[in-house]
Chain A
């Protein structure tokens, strides 16, 4: 049976072709983003090692820094690696808008609700 869910006209895929020069620019950008992602991950690990968990202002700032760095990393992956940044604005909004809301919810649960382990550490003193 012939499938009718396949677009025979694949001009969108063909339109995505680019020249050798454009390719070189894209590759350069990819390596730049790689360096940024590696640097951010390394920074997160060293912050985690250096700063001790406690019910302090510093630690809550560290936590928020982790979150911000994660969102920066996620933005680079989605916009550059998945090249959503190069897609039409309507596709961008369809994908990103629900997650603007959802990530806010996740942060609320993980950060502001997730302090159970800290309030109990006083048991041991």
Chain B
């Protein structure tokens, strides 16, 4: 058997063709091939998201209703935090271009400086994503599904005909005690109050949370608040199906678990790419610092990891539009 694999061909003959048809080195070419194929993975995920969303019979959460918090601040800032993450990634892409440009001038200190800033930008992005995940997982109060059809009048005077299975959202304080109460914590009890019901947590300190108001349509369109007797109608029509924040089985944002799963998978897979990128950048940073590329007389390695880093930025631009905006 004498296939191509066993042929003995000299290195000069194999690779010494004298000319690359693309005028790029082998390594850069393979980086482009890798990025072209990796983009298909992300494209596949976003397409799958589109299919599932399109075939969903229940309302699908919208980005500016779900992602509207900033760390350490009260109030509502729809998509501002995600836009900030996009901006951080764009800036770290810019410092990377400047590192590549410095490499083309054999400017070692320039490469080290800009690559260092790129790594810092990468850590900022990873930190932001960690915060967003944490916020998404903890949620803001929790939700339950209705066990029967209810007609309620919201505080704004509008009347809503809610169906069995529709979601009702609790506020932060009430939801905070509702979770241990549902888990059977003996210290937490549901009691009647002057205006309706309240949850009381006994122990070293006593905490109380009154059912002031409930929210409908929270993540799917402009939300409406329901309070007083109307809120009690919604509370009494509750089923046993509660969800707090999000995990792999339940989520408070949507009736469809696919929504939370796509969030975790798409942003997680992208975050994993960012993490790998930061690790690679750190390795190349130290190689540049120790003068490996100076001795090699070119900084093409910085250009190759630069391609990967820009690709990560590029993917986020698409995730921003197709997951958050549209």
Q: Which residues of A contact B (CB under 8 A)?
A: 4-10, 12-14, 16-20, 23, 26-27, 30-31, 34, 37-38, 41-42, 44-45, 48-49, 52-53, 63, 66-67, 70, 73-74, 77-78, 80-82, 87-88, 90-91, 94-95, 98-99, 102, 105-106, 109-111, 113-117, 120-121, 123-125
Contacts and interface: CB of A to CB of B under 8 A. Distances in A.
* Best-surrounded residue of B27, B97, B311 (most CB of chain A within 10 A): B97
Given A67-B321, A82-B311, A13 B298 contact: yes
Nearest to B58: A120
Contacts of B25: 7, 10, 12-13
Contact of B64 (A49, A82, A121): A49
Interface of B: 11, 14-16, 20-29, 32, 35-36, 39-40, 43, 46-47, 49-51, 53-64, 78-80, 83, 86-87, 90-91, 93-94, 96-98, 101-102, 104-106, 160-163, 166, 216-217, 220-222, 296-298, 300, 303, 306-307, 310-311, 313-314, 317-318, 320-322, 325-326
A-B CB proximity, top 6 nearest: A117-B60, A13-B300, A109-B50, A113-B54, A13-B298, A70-B321
B300 A66 contact: no
A113 B163 CA distance: 26
Nearest to B299: A13
Nearest to A47: B325
B47 A34 contact: no
Is chain B's interface secondary structure helix, strand, loop, or mixed overall? helix
7 contacts: A20-B105, A49-B64, A73-B317, A91-B22, A117-B60, A120-B58, A120-B59
B226 to A, nearest CB: 13
Contact of B90 (A37, A120, A123, A125): A37
